[in-house]
Amino acid sequence: MLRSVLFESTVGGDVIRKAMMAAALVVASATGQEFRVYSPPGADHEFGNSWSAVMFGTVAGHQSRVQQADANFIGQLLPTVSAIAWRREDGPLASAVARTIDLEVQMAHTDFATFSNDFAANALDAPTVVFPRTVINVPDWTSTPALLEYDLVVPFQQPWSYNEQDALVWDVIVHGSSGGGTYANDWFGVPASMDYGSTLLDLGPGCATSNGAFTMFGQFRSDGSGLELGFGVSGAPSQAGVVVMLGSVWFDAIPVPGLCAPLGADGFLSLPIGNSTSGGVVSEVVFPVAWSAGAASLPFTTQALALDGSQLGIGVALSNSALVNLPRTDGNPGIQCKRTFTQGSTTVPLGSAVSTSAVATRFTL
């Protein structure tokens, strides 16, 4: 049943995907939540294989220019981009103390096939200055991150509209830095080990139980031999049977009377994942399923449910709800980003030789 519902009935999948994502954008706007996408593939679930200090430097007064072309969103619903964010490398770095950066950001469309180290030639349209030159504070990145947190966030002063047909390119110009010592971004020189679906939107919190906030985590991933749907929870009612609901309709705007958290998944398919521990935990349970190319990038809503007599009304506890899309391919699609850069100057016309690599990046829509 799982296979037939998800991966064989895919007629009109692109229309369904865009309609659901458009509806989710409306909900996100109405509720003040963020709709997010990540690049390169896997960057919201795995750290890259290395790090790069090109953009933010190793010495006080550092200057740089980085253009990163991104073909990961061609054909995807990625309308107006309102912010960009980066994260630290995986591991402690004592020199990456908080500092100020004199920063400017531009966005444009680019031809991914002909992207070169000629900065001026890479834009297909007039670049939009989405963040005019401003001195900003950037966070302390000295400690090992507990999560894959994108905490260096640059909110655009001028939102940028994507045409869904060409690659996008972001152009970051650093005119100076107050800090000395390496300040390193997470960086992918090789692809992540799997292709993951992105968690596009996560609405919460879930119901409060005796074990805290009822929280579901899930991953849709592909390793080249099919797909895996993995789900687990924390903060569930103690020793309760937990079911994950998969939905085809995104809704959250109106709380349901008798429920302690908004309903976010219509639950056309229910997957029991087992009984919670006394502490309210169910470790990840994996459902292997077949792959169909027609299901690539299709979004699904997910939410966990458990009986909980301590809840008023219906006596059911709900977790947070999430909109998650399926991976784009069976196996990893590669990085699909190219990069060129300078260090020590913001005015040199030519950058480094173009490499297929990427600073891990999050876009907010």
Judge if 243 and 164 occupy the same domain: no
Pull the structure tokens for residue 348.
Answer: 């040199």
CA–CA dist 190, 117 (Å, integer): 20
CA–CA dist 344, 11 (Å, integer): 52
Is 29 within a domain? no
Judge if 319 and 343 occupy the same domain: no
Judge if 202 and 188 occupy the same domain: no
Give yes or no for residue 87 having a pLDDT over 90.
Answer: yes
CA 261 and chain centroid, separation:
24
Task: Give the residue from 221, 225, 251, 230 showing the smallest Cα distance to 325.
Answer: 221
Determine the structural domain holding residue 292 and report its residue range.
Answer: 2-12+195-325
Task: Give the residue from 137, 68, 53, 141 showing the smallest Cα distance to 344.
Answer: 53
Judge if 169 and 51 occupy the same domain: yes
Give yes or no for residue 262 having a pLDDT over 60.
Answer: yes
Tell me if 76 sits within 8 A of 164, measured CB to CB. yes
Give yes or no for residue 137 having a pLDDT over 90.
Answer: yes
CA distances 136 to 60, 127, 242, 297, Å, are 15, 22, 45, 35
Judge if 51 and 177 occupy the same domain: yes
| Other beta carbons less than 10 A from residue 288's beta carbon | 12
Judge if 73 and 84 occupy the same domain: yes
Give yes or no for residue 162 having a pLDDT over 60.
Answer: yes
CA 103 and chain centroid, separation:
23
Per-residue model confidence (pLDDT) at position 17? 58
Give yes or no for residue 9 having a pLDDT over 50.
Answer: no
Is 25 within a domain? no
* CATH number where 254 lies: 2.60.40
Is 27 within a domain? no
CA-derived radius of gyration, the chain:
21
Judge if 146 and 275 occupy the same domain: no
CA–CA dist 252, 263 (Å, integer): 6
Judge if 183 and 226 occupy the same domain: no
Per-residue model confidence (pLDDT) at position 13? 52
Residues 6+ apart with CB under 8 A from 184: 51, 52, 53, 56, 88, 89, 93, 96, 141
Give yes or no for residue 3 having a pLDDT over 60.
Answer: no
Judge if 317 and 183 occupy the same domain: no
Q: What does the pLDDT look like over 279-311, one tens digit per residue?
A: 999 999 999 988 888 788 888 889 999 999 999
Per-residue model confidence (pLDDT) at position 144? 86
Pull the structure tokens for residue 48.
Answer: 């890259």
Residue type at position 243 = V
In DSSP terms, which residues pair with 322 in a beta bridge? 202, 302
Is 261 within a domain? yes
Q: Is 285 exposed, middle or buried (0-12, 13-18, 19+ CB in 10 A)?
A: middle
CA–CA dist 326, 365 (Å, integer): 19
Helical ranges in 258-322 per DSSP H: none
| Other beta carbons less than 10 A from residue 314's beta carbon | 14
- Residues 156-183 have a mean pLDDT of 95
Is 43 within a domain? yes
Helix, strand, coil share (%) of the chain residues, nearest 5? 10, 45, 50
Q: Which residue has the higher pLDDT, 36 or 233?
A: 233
Judge if 164 and 73 occupy the same domain: yes
Per-residue model confidence (pLDDT) at position 88? 95
Averaged pLDDT of the chain: 88
Judge if 285 and 206 occupy the same domain: yes
Tell me the percentage of the chain whose pLDDT exceeds 70. Answer: 89
What DSSP line would sit under 23-78, residue for residue? HHHHHHHHHTPPPEEEESTTTTTS--SEEE-TTT-SSTT--EEEEEEE-TTTTS--
Residues 6+ apart with CB under 8 A from 154: 83, 84, 85, 103, 105, 131, 136
Pull the structure tokens for residue 77.
Answer: 């619903």
Report the number of distinct structural domains present in the chain: 2
CA–CA dist 165, 73 (Å, integer): 8
Judge if 121 and 212 occupy the same domain: no
Task: Give the residue from 120, 203, 107 showing the smallest Cα distance to 154.
Answer: 107
CA distances 210 to 250, 278, 281, Å, are 28, 10, 12
- Residues 61-68 have a mean pLDDT of 97
Is 26 within a domain? no
Give yes or no for residue 21 having a pLDDT over 80.
Answer: no
- Residues 16-44 have a mean pLDDT of 70
Q: Which residues of 238-254 are buried (b: 16+ CB within 10 A; e: fewer)?
A: bebebbbbbbbebbbee
